[in-house]
Amino acid sequence: MTTPLLKDLSLDALRDALRHEGVAPYRAEQIAAWVYARGVEDFDAMTDLPAELRRDLGDRFRMRALEVDALAQSEDGTLKARLATGDGEVVEAVLIPEERRTTLCISTQVGCPLACSFCATGALGFRRNLSTGEIVDQVLRMRELLPEGRSLTNVVYMGMGEPLLNLPSVIESIRLLIHPKAFALAPRRITVSTSGVVPKIAPLLDVAPINLAVSLHAASDAVRDVLVPLNRRYPLAELIRTLRELPALGPRRPIFFEYTLMDGVNDSLEDARRLVKLLRGLPAKLNVIPMNPHPGAPYRPPPPEVAERFLAELARGGLRTTLRRPRGRDIDAACGQLAGAASSGRFVKTSLRPSEEAVRGVL
Ligand code: SF4
């Protein structure tokens, strides 16, 4: 039997485990502060814990779930890491530095079962869900790559996998991200993206007032059935009705919609008008992202004038829209396109431990 990973335990579960051993449950928060707030992974360094407890923890738990295996840095500063799991799988995480914030995009599954036709991860198929510890370890490993003075401000669940198909681990990871003694991120700094796993949306939003992003990509079932095959199970009308009925949402809590613009597929004026109609009355913010082409996907971004015409039509319809520049285009770092790049040779293999100075200064 493999040694359990400490980061797979929720704080409640850790408290229970300690209580079971006759240790005061408040020690769980001390341990969380060391591991998640300070990034200390050596039990011996947790100096406010009794020596016997440190020894006992070291005997019972392993600490690291992931190791940085390779790095790729974009000209725009985006930094992608390939992270190896203990059982030989790989997932990817991407740091996106901007002027006023630093966003980390993390994965929730190895591969993805949903097979969206424009997505390199989908083309890989599904290997397995990530555990809670493997999800939060992406945050720890990537945070170690930040240069002095820069801190992580936002976490988006938009990497490999469909988060709502791994809901229990995603929920526990969010609880750790927002716990004041752990990562202490404000819920509004966290965004979970879904392709529309309808029955899991409300349970996710019950956890905390985080942001929801919906990978929409089409405003008709005919097109969405092809781009996002999950649409055949949960068609647009059902998805949008579910979003309209979410109790916690209001104008102060927008829903983000992602729309990858593809040449000749979903970029017509008719598509724009359908989109306006579909989202009318929702607190919608639409992010339009020109397709980041990659080998294997039969889609291309539209010419700039087509994208402009599309956006102008959305504006005319009163939809709040942002045109997003794909980040890390040169390293295939766009969310949902991570795995395709894994075989593209753009990674630089590294044997460095992330704490080493050599990987600093890359942002
Ligand atoms: S776009 Fe997201 S849900 Fe669709 S196949 Fe890719 S990773 Fe899975």
Q: How is 123-150 classified by DSSP, letter by letter? A: HH-EEEEPPHHHHHHHHHHHHTTSPTT-
Q: Say whether both 100 and 225 belong to one domain.
A: yes
Task: Dump pLDDT digits (tens) for 34-80.
Answer: 999 999 999 999 999 999 999 999 999 999 999 999 999 998 889 99
Task: CATH number of the domain at 100, please.
Answer: 3.20.20.70
- Which residues neighbour 237 within 8 Å (Cβ) at sequence distance 6 or greater? none
* pLDDT score recorded for residue 317: 97
* pLDDT score recorded for residue 332: 66
Q: What is the number of structural domains in the chain?
A: 2
* pLDDT score recorded for residue 47: 96
* pLDDT score recorded for residue 337: 47
Q: Say whether both 195 and 338 belong to one domain.
A: yes
Residue 340 within any structural domain of the chain? yes
Residue 1 within any structural domain of the chain? no
Confidence of residue 352 (pLDDT cuts 50, 70, 90): very low
Task: Dump pLDDT digits (tens) for 186-199.
Answer: 999 999 999 999 99
* pLDDT score recorded for residue 336: 45
Q: Say whether both 210 and 253 belong to one domain.
A: yes
Q: Looking at the predicted structure, is the pLDDT value of residue 362 above 80? A: no
162 CA closest ligand 1 atom index = 3
Q: Say whether both 52 and 130 belong to one domain.
A: no
Confidence of residue 357 (pLDDT cuts 50, 70, 90): very low
Q: Say whether both 121 and 19 belong to one domain.
A: no
Measured in degrees and rounded to the nearest 5, phi and psi for residue 256 equal -90, 135
- Which residues neighbour 147 within 8 Å (Cβ) at sequence distance 6 or greater? 360, 361, 362, 363
* pLDDT score recorded for residue 231: 98
Q: Say whether both 39 and 148 belong to one domain.
A: no
120 CA closest ligand 1 atom index = 6
Give the CA distances from residue 316 to residues 256, 261, 275, in Å, rounded to whole numbers and listed in that order: 19, 18, 12
| Average pLDDT over the chain, rounded to an integer | 90
Tally of residues, the chain? 363
Q: Say whether both 184 and 220 belong to one domain.
A: yes
Tell how far the Cα of 343 is from the centroid of ligand 1, in angstroms.
Answer: 18
> Which of 108, 109, 119, 197 has most ligand 1 atoms within 8 Å of CB, for mutation?
119
Tokens of 7: 């980061």
**Domain containing residue 75:** 66-359
Q: Looking at the predicted structure, is the pLDDT value of residue 153 above 90? A: yes
The CB of 119 under 6 Å from ligand 1? The reply is yes
Domain-terminating residue out of 60, 81, 100: 60
Count of CB atoms situated within 10 Å of the CB of 125: 11
Give the CA distances from residue 296 to residues 118, 241, 293, 340, 344, in Å, rounded to whole numbers and listed in that order: 9, 34, 9, 9, 12
Q: Say whether both 185 and 256 belong to one domain.
A: yes
Q: Say whether both 131 and 162 belong to one domain.
A: yes
The separation between CA 244 and the C-alpha centre of its own chain, rounded to angstroms, equals 24
159 CA closest ligand 1 atom index = 7
Q: Looking at the predicted structure, is the pLDDT value of residue 354 above 50? A: no
Confidence of residue 249 (pLDDT cuts 50, 70, 90): low
The beta strands (E) that lie in 39-88 are given as: 66-73, 79-85
Tell how far the Cα of 203 is from the centroid of ligand 1, in angstroms.
Answer: 20
Q: What is the mean pLDDT of residues 275-299?
A: 93
Q: Say whether both 154 and 240 belong to one domain.
A: yes
Helix (H/G/I), strand (E/B), else coil: 180: coil
Q: Looking at the predicted structure, is the pLDDT value of residue 120 above 90? A: no
Task: Dump pLDDT digits (tens) for 311-342.
Answer: 999 999 999 999 987 777 666 665 444 444 44
- Which residues neighbour 257 within 8 Å (Cβ) at sequence distance 6 or greater? 213, 214, 216, 279, 284, 285, 286, 287
Cα separation, 129 vs 198, in Å, equals 19
Cα separation, 200 vs 221, in Å, equals 20
- Which residues neighbour 119 within 8 Å (Cβ) at sequence distance 6 or greater? 112, 297, 336, 337
Q: Looking at the predicted structure, is the pLDDT value of residue 160 above 50? A: yes
* pLDDT score recorded for residue 260: 96
Q: Say whether both 194 and 340 belong to one domain.
A: yes
Q: Say whether both 136 and 42 belong to one domain.
A: no
* pLDDT score recorded for residue 329: 66
Q: What is the pTM of this model?
A: 0.91
The CB of 289 under 6 Å from ligand 1? The reply is no
Q: What is the mean pLDDT of residues 99-118?
A: 96
* pLDDT score recorded for residue 349: 52
Residue 304 within any structural domain of the chain? yes
> Interhelix angle for 269-279 vs 236-244, to 10°?
40
Cα separation, 23 vs 9, in Å, equals 16
Do 294 and 301 meet the contact criterion of CB atoms below 8 Å apart? no
Nearest CA to ligand 1 atom 5: 122
Confidence of residue 21 (pLDDT cuts 50, 70, 90): very high
- Catalytically active residues are 92, 335
Q: Looking at the predicted structure, is the pLDDT value of residue 184 above 70? A: yes
The CB of 112 under 6 Å from ligand 1? The reply is yes
Q: Looking at the predicted structure, is the pLDDT value of residue 235 above 90? A: yes
Residue 47 within any structural domain of the chain? yes
